[in-house]
Chains A and B, each alone.
Chain A
């Protein structure tokens, strides 16, 4: 019997978040084992659960692998320049406070080239939700070290190991004024999704760091065999500590087997909203 299109149609071909993804853009460009797809999935579920009209959700990204996230979201979506997703998003959010603007971008984009905008958006308490996908390196350009690379970890621009201390992002976000600060990994699918949902309820600056494997670049250079291997590290070493107050102690060293990785929702406060 010949296989026709009819016979390979799945029984139920509508997934609850299908309408929130741009199916016409699939397949995506992300590598096998990459964590960015899981983040997109969590964001889409949070949109669906938010009770906010999807036409009022806006997604903005910068440049890099994580910067491609906006392009897969079936909401008004913008792919800005490297490092400038936050001021671009500020323009949208300030001009139209009805919109729920989420910035999904990478650690390099948001904290290196865009670091100045990050601290000032947090200081102002702009009504933005930031999902910072931290894969410890610049993935799209081939695995260079960046401001989140653990000391000693290898990258193509640090073949003998990174010589700089990395950022502790939740500490930075709290210190600069974020109303909501969380760190999760792509293993913590439900907790991450709930954190995004919580940030959508708030009217100030929210910052969620989400750890994600980059097996092609960071993993390969640092003997983390594949995406699953890194998720296994998350499973073994993550310690959930919601409301942790010692954010200054929460730096991550993915390569130190003896060091735990603290995750959780750390900050949830109210500050004066900015031009809402």
Chain B
């Protein structure tokens, strides 16, 4: 066999980066394939149930395509490594679950402060602490928003199916680059371990939003790594491109140099929050079912939303005026839409089923005086359609 024939043979054996087609696929694998399709080229992670299948899948898929898979010594290192890879230009990724997510928190703050794009999948399990490692939880949603010390903005997607694990992972990489933020995919054990139909589009149909780079070649003028454009997001130069950037987790000025004073701090931290807050309408995603005339609105996300959808459809058949808002981005939380529905005046109450003791409920309670009824399980089991239906009827 000639060299070129051998190369062609290898090429034939190589699975393509985008597995276009219809698959019967595990949620965790769909997430991994979403990352592959998005062009992820660095994964640093540590095994943890129930997210391990993401790492295992990428360990097999990524290296033949030239990407780097590194199994790190812990999640502290995983998070630091994906930030490092990203400042060198990678689309970088890690996957974990609650205990690992806790360990990542300090460096998630670093990614927010350095404005380094990166994506973290957290397949939630029943917590706190070691909890129920193989069983479902949805109790990391507030940690995802507020877990690292200080104020900053992030984006978090909550897939409710393997298909969404794929689609939202692609979207997460684009959002991370567009806004220069850490982006979370808040899966849960039920979704991660569910196998369903997943349709992967042609490679050319995978959306790609590039990271903004410097507009001038490196020169005498120092590059201002933290001078924001009108959208509050600064263009980013990578290690090795000649811009001699400095990035520090200390409060810094537009050059990236430490600026240890209250005024600089206030300006910087407000921008970190505002660059997400002011783009919330562009980022937010939610699905609505029959909310316009509903007096009862169920708000849910992730696996719980599957029960909620069934319950709402059943209740409608029984003549109940109820609807569902399924949060696809949990952060930013679509509060304008919820306020709007409240102002329309039909809504009499909200029902919030979730596998935690009321984390999402708090978000809704702060928007309204209307009753916000809870349907919680601490973890290990999820609310059934019957339980939600019963609540809608009551």
> Which of A's residues lie within 8 Å of B, judged by CB?
22, 24-25, 55-56, 58, 60, 70-71, 74-81, 83-84, 86-96, 98-99, 116-117, 120, 275
Contact = CB atoms under 8 A, between A and B. Distances in A.
Contacts of A71: 246, 248, 257-258
Interface string B85-127: 1111110100000000000001100100010000000000000
B84 A81 contact: no
Interface string B245-261: 11111100001011000
B103 to A, nearest CB: 11
Interface stretch (B68-76, B165-173, B289-297, B346-354): B68-76
Interface size class of B (residues with CB under 8 A): 35 or more
B241 A91 contact: no
Contact of A91 (B80, B243, B255): B80
Q: Which of B76, B243, B245, B258 has its CB near the most chain A CB atoms (within 10 A)? A: B76
A91 B86 contact: yes
A177 to B, nearest CB: 14
Contact of A87 (B80, B245, B246, B250): B80
Contact of B110 (A25, A77, A80, A92): A80
A81 B113 CA distance: 11
Given A76-B245, A96-B88, A96-B89, A84 B76 contact: yes
Given A76-B87, A91-B84, 12 more contacts: A22-B257, A55-B242, A76-B241, A76-B243, A78-B114, A81-B106, A91-B83, A92-B239, A94-B85, A96-B89, A120-B77, A275-B70
A223 to B, nearest CB: 32
A94 B83 CA distance: 12
B106 A91 contact: no
A275 B87 CA distance: 18
24 contacts: A24-B255, A55-B244, A71-B258, A75-B244, A76-B240, A76-B241, A78-B246, A78-B248, A79-B246, A79-B247, A79-B250, A80-B110, A81-B106, A81-B110, A81-B249, A90-B80, A91-B81, A91-B88, A92-B84, A92-B239, A94-B42, A96-B89, A116-B73, A120-B72
Contact of A90 (B70, B76, B245, B249): B70
Contacts of B70: 90, 94, 275
Nearest to A83: B76
Contact of B84 (A22, A25, A75, A87): A87
A256 B84 CA distance: 41
B68 A55 contact: no
B82 interface: yes
B41 interface: yes
A74 to B, nearest CB: 6
A79 B68 contact: no
B290 to A, nearest CB: 47
B76 A95 contact: no
Contacts of B81: 87-88, 90-91, 94
Contacts of B222: 24
B44 interface: yes
A202 to B, nearest CB: 19
B42 to A, nearest CB: 5
B107 A92 contact: no
Contacts of A80: 80, 83-84, 110, 249
